[in-house]
């Protein structure tokens, strides 16, 4: 399954990169979300996959009794999800404001508008 996930991460990354290179900032934002997902999956997969056994110590035991999933990448991914959400939310607000101010989401037009502002 790791091999399958590797291919999946590749597809997600390719889609994300293409979207991030788009001139429209909304598409850039789509790409940002997709690439966060890709990275989270990559971290998760690199800790190897174990089906259906959450890393939880049962009552009465001191260590997990069966073969459980790798806890470390899970903890890292948890942090990463929250952080990437913070990044997304901030970027969304920023883009929203930029649109209100400049009236466009197209990067090329935005730059032209900024130059006009400077020259005035």
Partner 1 sequence: MANNPQDIDTGSWLRPAGILPPLLAGALFVWFATMIPPIAALDTLRFVWNWVPSLGINLSFFIDGLSLTFSLLISGIGILVFLYASKYMQGHVHFARFMLFIVLFMLSMLGLVLADNLLTLFVFWELTTITSYLLIGFEHTISKARRNALQALLVTGTGGLALLAGFILIGTVAETFELSEIRAQGSVLIDSTLYLPILILFLAGTFTKSAQFPMHFWLPNAMAAPTPVSAYLHSATMVKAGIYLMARMHPSLGGTEVWLWTLTVFGAVTAVFASVLALKQTDLKQALAYTTLMALGTLTLFLAGDVSYAITAAMTFLLVHCFYKAALFLVVGIIDHETGTRDIHMLGGLARAMPVTCLAAGLAALSMAGFPPFLGFIGKELKYAGALAMQSEPYLVAGAVLVSNALMFAVAGIVSFSPFWRRHLAEGLTAHEAPWQMLAGPLILAACGAVFGIYPSLAAEILVNPGVVAIAGSDVKTHELKLWEGINPPLILSLATFVLGVLIYNFHRRLREWITGVAQHLISFDRGWDQVLEGLKGFAIWQTQIVQSGYLRRYLFLIFFTLSIGLAGMIWWRGPILPTLEWPMLLVKHWVVIVLIVAGSMLTLTTSSRVAAIAGLGAAGIGVALIFIIFGAPDVAITQLLVDTLVVVLFASAALKLPFLEPTGRKLRRPLDAILALSVGTIISLIMLIVTDGPVDRSLTTYFEEASWTEAFGRNIVNVILVDFRALDTFGEIAVVVIAALGAYAILKGRQTA
Q: What residues from 91 to 110 belong to the interface with partner 1 (CB under 8 A)?
A: 92-97, 99-100, 104-105, 107-108
The phi, psi pair for 106, rounded to 5°, reads: -85, 125
Q: What is the DSSP letter of 106?
A: B
Instruction: Pick from 62, 118, 119, 120 the residue near partner 1 by CB under 8 A.
Output: 62
Pick the closer one to partner 1 by CB: 58 or 120. 58
According to the binding rule CB under 8 A, does residue 112 interact with partner 1? no
Degrees to nearest 5, angle at CA 45 with 44 and 48: 105
Q: Smallest distance from the beta carbon of 120 to partner 1, in angstroms?
A: 17
Q: List the interface residues with partner 1, window 12-31 (CB under 8 A).
A: 12-24, 26-30
According to the binding rule CB under 8 A, does residue 65 interact with partner 1? no
How many chain residues interact with partner 1 (CB under 8 A)? 88
- Longest Cα–Cα distance of the chain, Å, equals 74
3-state secondary structure of 24: strand
**Residue 112: count of CB within 10 angstroms of its CB:** 13
């Amino acid at each position: 399954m790791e091999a399958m996930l590797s291919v999946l991460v590749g597809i997600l990354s390719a889609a994300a990169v293409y979207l991030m290179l788009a001139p429209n900032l909304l598409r850039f934002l789509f790409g940002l979300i997709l690439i966060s997902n890709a990275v989270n999956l990559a971290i998760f997969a690199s800790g190897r996959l174990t089906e259906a056994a959450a890393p939880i110590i049962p009552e009465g035991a001191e260590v997990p009794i069966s073969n459980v999933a790798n806890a470390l990448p899970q903890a890292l991914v948890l942090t990463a999800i929250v952080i990437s959400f913070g990044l997304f939310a901030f970027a969304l607000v920023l883009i929203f404001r930029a649109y209100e101010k400049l009236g466009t989401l197209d990067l090329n037009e935005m730059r032209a508008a900024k130059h006009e502002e400077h020259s005035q």
